Amino acid sequence: MDNKKNKIGPQIILSKSGNLIKKNKSFFLILNDGNIINLDSKKSNILQFRKSEFNLSKYTSKTTTYPKIQETNSQTLIKCLNILIFKNLKDTKKILNCDLQNIEGINKEIYKRLFVPLYIFLIGVISSALILKSKNNKNFNFFKLIIFLCGFAAIIFSEISTQFVSLNIINNLLLTLSPIIISLVFYIFIKIKLIYDY
């Protein structure tokens, strides 16, 4: 415990037993048979006690008491985004964390959940290009490296693309359609190559 208000400095409190009780809407920690060690850069003091009572209401928690955007289900996020886009701000109070300050984060989270999985299909199409060369081909290892780099680039692009999500509909549409278009181009390329090579 670091008591900065009284400028005591850090303290270590040890006790054999303790109870947490509530008095007048405040929580108190009651400790029995213990020591309080006041740590200072120059010296430290040890105080023994039989019973000590600490008012916990003056301490605040660093934990989040409401669900984060990442912990909210997709249906609720879509509802919230719908409410915020169509400016129906009365309904935002029904959904936790649904306000105009969080609209960009909500938009990015929906993109991550619904559209980033499309890159899995793109990576599958890229890796299926391995059937274009035989293992006996002298350039097969180089071709394998090129396929690996293309797949790696797709993974990096899928992660970076979430940073470009905004409230601009055209921008989001291009980001959403890009893995589909690239997958189709790769698929058509593989199909044409297979037809002409065999």
| Interval 113-156: pLDDT, tens | 999 999 999 999 999 988 888 888 888 999 999 999 999 999 99
Q: What is the pLDDT of residues 20-61, one digit of tens each?
A: 888 887 888 889 999 888 887 677 788 888 998 888 877 776
Q: Which of 51-60, 61-70, 88-97, 167-176 has the highest mean pLDDT?
A: 167-176
Beta strand ranges found along the chain (DSSP E): 2-3, 9-23, 26-39, 44-55
| Confidence at 98, pLDDT banded by 50, 70, 90 | confident
pLDDT by residue (tens digit) across 101-116?
888 888 888 899 999 9
Percent of the chain residues past pLDDT 70, beyond the cut: 87
84 close to 141: Cβ distance less than 8 angstroms: no
**Alpha carbon of 100 to those of 110, 128, 171: distances in Å?**
16, 43, 20
Please give the pLDDT value at position 180: 93
CATH of domain 2-58: 2.30.18
Q: Binning pLDDT at 50, 70 and 90, where does residue 94 land?
A: low
Domain boundaries, the chain: 2-58, 66-113, 115-198
Q: How far is CA 42 from the centre of its chain?
A: 43
